[in-house]
Structures are given as C-alpha cells and as structure tokens.
Chain A
Amino acid sequence: MSGGGTARNAMRDLRGLPERVRSQMRATRGGAAVVRFGHYVLLPVLAVAAGLAPEHLSIRWAFLAIVLIAYVMLRASSSLFGVAVLAATLVVLPHYMDTFERGIMFNIALYALLGIGLNVVVGYAGLLDLGYVAFFATGAYLYALLAAPIRGGGFDVGTSFWLVLPMAMVLAALVGVVLGIPVLRLRGDYLAIVTLGFGEIIRIMANNETGLTNGPVGVFQIPKPHFFGQELATPFELYFVVIAGCFVAAFATERVRDSRVGRAWEAIREDEDVAASMGVNTTFYKLLAFAMGAAIGGAGGVFFSAKQSAIDPTSFNLDVSINVLALVIIGGMGNVRGVLLGAMLLIGLPDVLRDFSIDFLFVHLSNLGADYRLVIFGAALVAVMVLRPQGLLASRRRALEFQQTEILESELAT
C-alpha cells in the first residue's frame, strides 16, 4: 500500500481527472436524477400503504419501508425534499409500530446519534477509535448515578435529565481530551488498540469500583426525564428526543466540517505531516475531534440510561464500539446521512431477524431467526462490505477518492 500511497499523492497533483472517473461522476449524477424522480412516486405510495394498514403492518414491512425510503431519499442527497420526507417518515411511521418495533427504532436512533459522534473522529479527522463505548458509558453512568435513588445504586442527587445532558457532554469531552493527550502521537492501528483498551478499562472499572458504580449489579430505578411536566415514560417518547438530538448533532457536525476546523481535520486525515508543516495545530484539532465525538457519545449515554432505567457494565462492552464503527463505515464514512442508514441495517437487522422464519414446502424452521440471526448478520456484514466497499452512501468526494485509488492500484498491480 505504501507504493499506492506515494502514487496517490502524486495523483492529487494532477490537474485533470482520468476520463473513467469523470464518466463515473456523470453516471452517478444521471442516476441520481432518476432516483430523485422515482421517489416522488414511491414515497406517497408507501406512506399511504403504511397509513392505511396499521393493523397489518408487521415489523418486516415497516422496517423495510423505512430502510427503502431512507435509501432512496439519501441517495438523492441534494434533494431538500428528500431529506424532509425522510425526517417526516422517521417521525410518522413509528406511530404505526408496536412496542418492539418502537424499541428497535429507539436503538436505531440512539446508534445513529453515536455514529454521528464517532463519524467526527473517524470520518472527519481520520482517527480510528475502537473505544467509543468509553464516552457512551461516561454519559450513561453520570445520569444513572446522579438521578437514581440510593436503593437503586445511585446517589439520588435528583438532578434533572436536562441538566445532566450538558454535564455529561462536558464530562465525556473531558474524558476524550484526557484519553487523547497520551495517545496523540499514535497513528492508525496503534491508536485503535489503545482506544480499545481504554474502552475496556472503563468497563472493568465500572464492574469493580463497587463503591462508585454499584459493581456488576449496576444502577437501576433510573428515573425517566420530564418534558414540561410530561414524563417521557416509554422508548417511543424518548425516541423523539433522540431523533431531535440526532438532528442537532448532524447539524452541528456538518457545520463544523464545513468550517475552518473541518478543513483542518481534512488536512490531518489526508496527510498529518503536511498538515503540520502547513501550520495546522494538529494536536489541538485532533483533541477537538476527540472531544466533539466524545460529547455526542456522552449525550447518547444519557439517553440510553434514561430509556433503559437500569444499566450495568455488560451494556458497555467492546460490541458497542464495534457496532458504532461498523455502522459508520457501512453507511459511508464521513457522511451523516450514511450513518443513519448504517444504524438501520446494523442495529435494526439483528432484531428484525428475530422474527425470521422459513415455512415453505418441507422446510419448517420456525426458530431460524431466533437462533441464526447472528449467523445471518455476520454474513450480511461481509456481503455489504464486498458489494459496496465505500459504504452504502459514500460522500461523493470519498467515492471519488476510492475510484482513484482503485485505478492506480490496479494499474500498479498488473
């Protein structure tokens, strides 16, 4: 790859792009137009179907509809209408879902939020973080410990959810900075393993520092937040809070990306040494990425804590970090809209598969979903990556980079 890397640098200096890349770009734009036209027809049909038949709207159909709508909407990324319809879908469709489906939707929204946060670190700044769960756990434990009664393992400070939310974000950001300082010199996969270790350390501490965290039992009886006197008692109500949080986070991170800071991140991601030599304070901007990602993770933790009403260290294992990273990459790195789609597939799919069964001719596998869902999930992960290596919704710029690399490498390799 090192050879490819040098060549890639050289490539960037070229004025014009190869014809193959340009034609691909044209094709993508043309395709987008078709897609954009198509969804004007598709969406109302789906929406009406969903609205007319709530009784028969099983999880598979509702989920399928949402993913489909999301994909179509998000592919046509420049369409304002598309994003608006998607937002409306996310708000309207859950009304026709049952408790389980709403629980899944909550998880999807939560992981989308986490994905938006991790995207800042991995997608924008190019720092591979395998310990994102640490910030998530920080936020979750902060709310749990402050809000839960003493018999539930908390400290019963009685702090309001809305007060803890910013506190958790600040605390998580601080944790991010504290983690960031010693590991700043590390790059790539060295950073990955150190962050992974950090996530594990937080979990082990939560399990063993019984005096503070109530140990393996965890914290329970965590109160639900109130919103102007109304208790947000169910995952369904909290779902809307998280969706709102997603929009705030998406808005904030995209704005930052398009600012000076974002350009500094991009420079660091592309070539750290060059960035430093051009006067970018890499230390500061890397810490900023860590802190911003961590703050969003901390907020996610608070939402999680409020929805679960009981948390224990098992909720904060490596799987969380891996899931969030995977959804960012599957969705299309550096792309907030992709994160949403990634969350739907990665977090939604294993639960949707619970109901999966085959009952056809001589094959009656009623437990297929319950027992084999993770087998299917693993295979699906591979399939998605192989079929769309740049992610389902790569930002156009990323897709272009990918194609350049491919062309160069294939020229080199043959």
Chain B
Amino acid sequence: MRTGRGSHGWLRAPLIAAMLAAATVVALACGGTSSADKTATAVAGGGGSTPASGATSAATSAATTSAGAGGTITIKKGDSIKIGISTTLTTDNAQLGLPIRDSALLAIKDKATIKGFTVVGDPQDDQCAAQPSVDAANKLIADKVAAVLGPMCSGGAVAALDPYSKQNLLVISSSATNPSVTQLGKKDFFRTAWNDATQGGEMAKYAYTTLGKKNAVLVNDQSVYGKGLMDVFKAAFIKLGGKVVSEEAVTVGEKDFSPTVTKIKGENPDIVVFGGFIAEGAVLVRQLGEAGVTASFMGADGIADQKWIDQSGGKAEGAYVSRGPKPTDTTLYDKYVAAYKAAYPGKDAPQFGEQTYDAMHIILNAIEQVATVNANGDLVIDKDQLIAAVKAVNYQGASGQIQFNDVGDRTVVGAVNEIDQVKSGKFVRVQ
C-alpha cells in the first residue's frame, strides 16, 4: 500500500498543476466579465426584469449609488411580494429574535395586500453574528425580496449591509443600535432602533442629574451592543461629573455571575448600569439583589422586556430601564401592544417590538407608494424611489414619530427618552 500511494501522488502532481492553471484561467475569465452579468440577471432579475435595469444594478457599487440607476424589482402577476426578515431564529439569542419576527409578521398581517399582490414575510436566521447575517442576506437577495427588515444585531448589520447595498436593497433594522452601523454611510439603510449614542447619553443624564448618582459600576456583556452602549454612557457620565468606579464584563450564556457581583459589592457604587440582553441582565440583577447590593440598577432597551422582570426573581424591583426616546402620547403604542397580545395569546409585547412593527409598516407603505402595475399586470418597484420614499418618511408609529437623517438614524422629534422603573413587577414609566 505504501508504494501504491506514492505512485498515485506522482501521477497526480502534474495533473493538479494543470488543473490549477485551468482554474486560474477560468477564474480570470469569470472574474472579468461573465460573473457580473450573471449576478445581475440572477439577482436583480426579480423574475423577469428588463435586461437594462438588471445590468446596471449589480455591476459595480458605483453604479448602484448613482441616482436613477438603482434598478427595479419586478413581481410577476400572481406572485407575492416578499419582505425579508433577518433575525435570530436559533441559539439563545432567539429569545430576542423570534418575537421580532412575530412583530414583523403582525405588521404584514395589517397590510396583507398591496395593489392586489399578497405580502409575505421571509424570515431568515442571522444568529446575531457577522457571517450568518451575510449568509441570510445572500439568501434574501436570492429570494428576490423587495426590502429587508433587519439584521437583528449590530455586528451582523455591519457585515451584511455590504451585500445589501450592492443590490441597492432597502434595509431597515429595528434593533441594531450600535453607532458603527450608520457610520458605514450606506444609502439604503435606515433604523427605527435608536442609535446608542442617543440612548447612552440620555441614560447618563438621567442617572446623574435626576437620580443624583455619582459613582457607577458599568457591566457589559462583551457584545457590540452592550459594550458600545456602556462606552457611550461612560463618556457622558464622566463629562457630567460622575465617576465610573469600574467596568465589568459578563459572558453571554453563563448563568452565574457571583464573582462579578462580589466584586461590585466591594466597590460599593451608587448605581450599577448594565448593557446587554435579557438572560444575562436577569441573572445580574437577581444576584446583585441576593448579595445585598443596595445600589440602584439601570439597564437599557436590551432588557426592556417583561421577561427580564419575570426572570429576575423579584430582584428587579426599583430598577430603572431606558427604552430610548418615546412619544409622550402612547395611544399608538398601546394599540400595538393590544394587537400583539391578540395575535400571540399568552405573550407580552417584546422589546424592539414596536420598532419592528413600525419598520415593517414603513417598508410596506413605501412599497405601496412607489410600486406601479405595468402593462403585463406585473408589479414594478423602483429601488431608488423606494429608498427615497423611506428617506422622506414622516411616520407616526407605535414607537413615536419617525423621521430619518442623512445616515439613516432616527431624528428625535418631540420625544423624550423613556425611563421606566420596575414597580410591583411591572414597568412603570417615570420619564
């Protein structure tokens, strides 16, 4: 056997070399021309678009950004309009992701048809991470969706916006809050989530000015969201005159943070501020309470969910939770909550839910506004017009009045940063 294999190797050597050369040649050829064409027809085609529009959309990113050449999406008569939903369906983060999907589907239910075409959601798993978010993006692009809601997490958004913007595809995220996402300067991206730069500053102001807290311990979950929010908080809090005693970290997926809690107890802060999500936030606040730490607890929209209170073993009582800027008039929010509870009995309205609901409504409204039915009875959506429609939006939604600035962040219009306090196991708005 030994000799047998050796001879194979010698035989194979020149062959592999030849194939390598061939592959390189083919790669060259493909890289040059044909791939761009293929991409265009396969992607922008949308089931029968005109060759002209297809070719312009995908060739280079330069072409996609030039006005009026953004391509179109054509939906054949009898087909349905697909809206991509990039959210987390597996891993523990699905705790956050599944309700986001449900809120998005709820909004689609409100507006089930546009100009005679049915609207369907296309949920794809982005696992709250960079590579799966890109995979989900490729899937949604291949599914020829008209627009995308998501990605769920900032890390995934930063990575996935690249393939989306190559297609000039409208993307609205309802939960990616890190400042870096809109720093990318993508023209096709918007978010109904609040930039952490806004929220972190508001939280610091509330903690320092309203609550009179001077010494803070910051805890983050080492995620883009948690760490980013705490960085903003830290800068703002110090600027106001507060002192950050220490910065701690917890590991996502762990269930026992008692050493961290012991350390915090020794540092004796006025307030413990947490940037992260429900699971870790609940463990932290419960263990702080059980360890007899008397400092106030403050969290943000990542834990602004009844599930967080339920999982905290009663130790969340008195804690402050920022929900981001919210309208003073909650009529539309209450309406959304009622609709969510009616559609999903036994479940409470989730965090990011109202922003998701609004984002999907904005997408659907914009499609309705720009879509035209052509002579064949097909629905044609001009991508540039769609994006322009969203950019110009002034929408009164469950999460407040929504307008976007140049980079796709929400501008604060007549809203105050909502702070809730947990009283008798429920969130009660205090600001």
A adjacent to B, CB under 8 Å? yes
How long is the Cα–Cα vector from A371 to B101 in the complex, in angstroms?
A: 12
Report if A184 contacts B (CB, 8 A).
no
In the complex, are the beta carbons of B130 and A310 less than 8 A apart? yes
Q: Which residue of A lies closest to B141 (CB)?
A: A99
**Please, which residues of chain B bring their CB within 8 A of the CB of A95?**
30, 34-35, 38
**Please, which residues of chain B bring their CB within 8 A of the CB of A308?**
130-131, 134, 159, 162
**Please, which residues of chain A bring their CB within 8 A of the CB of B335?**
none
**Please, which residues of chain A bring their CB within 8 A of the CB of B222?**
207-208, 216
Tell me how many residue pairs across A and B have CB atoms closer than 8 Å: 182
How long is the Cα–Cα vector from A237 to B24 in the complex, in angstroms?
A: 11
Partner of A83, one of B15, B42, B142, B162: B15
Report if B155 contacts A (CB, 8 A).
yes
In the complex, are the beta carbons of B124 and A248 less than 8 A apart? no
Partner of B39, one of A230, A236, A243: A236
**Please, which residues of chain A bring their CB within 8 A of the CB of B26?**
91, 240
**Please, which residues of chain A bring their CB within 8 A of the CB of B162?**
308-310
Report if B32 contacts A (CB, 8 A).
yes
Q: Count of chain A residues with Cβ under 8 Å from any Cβ of B? A: 67
Q: Which residue of A lies closest to B16 (CB)?
A: A251
Partner of B124, one of A254, A370, A400: A370
**Please, which residues of chain B bring their CB within 8 A of the CB of A315?**
129-131
With A98-B42, A103-B134 known to touch, is A236 a contact of B35 (CB < 8 Å)?
yes
Identify whether the interface residues of B are mostly helix, strand, loop, or mixed: helix
**Please, which residues of chain A bring their CB within 8 A of the CB of B60?**
231, 233
Report if A255 contacts B (CB, 8 A).
yes
Report if A130 contacts B (CB, 8 A).
no
Q: Which residue of A lies closest to B129 (CB)?
A: A314
Report if A101 contacts B (CB, 8 A).
yes
Q: Which residue of B lies closest to A369 (CB)?
A: B125
How long is the Cα–Cα vector from A400 to B19 in the complex, in angstroms?
A: 30
How long is the Cα–Cα vector from A113 to B89 in the complex, in angstroms?
A: 29
Chain B 189-229 near chain A by CB (<8 Å), digits 1 or 0? 00000000000000000000000000000000011100110
With A216-B227, A240-B31 known to touch, is A84 a contact of B1 (CB < 8 Å)?
no
| Distance in Å: Cβ of B144 to nearest Cβ of chain A | 9
Report if A107 contacts B (CB, 8 A).
yes
**Please, which residues of chain A bring their CB within 8 A of the CB of B89?**
370-371
In the complex, are the beta carbons of A232 and B31 less than 8 A apart? yes
In the complex, are the beta carbons of A310 and B159 less than 8 A apart? yes
In the complex, are the beta carbons of B138 and A103 less than 8 A apart? yes
A to B CB contacts below 8 Å, 16 in the list: A87-B19, A98-B142, A99-B142, A99-B163, A100-B135, A100-B142, A216-B222, A217-B154, A231-B60, A237-B31, A244-B24, A309-B159, A310-B158, A354-B125, A395-B5, A397-B1
Binding site for B on A (CB under 8 A): 59, 77-78, 80, 83-84, 87, 91, 95, 97-104, 107, 151, 207-208, 215-218, 220-221, 227-228, 230-237, 240-241, 243-244, 247-248, 250-251, 254-255, 257-258, 308-312, 314-315, 351, 354, 367, 370-371, 373-374, 395-397, 400
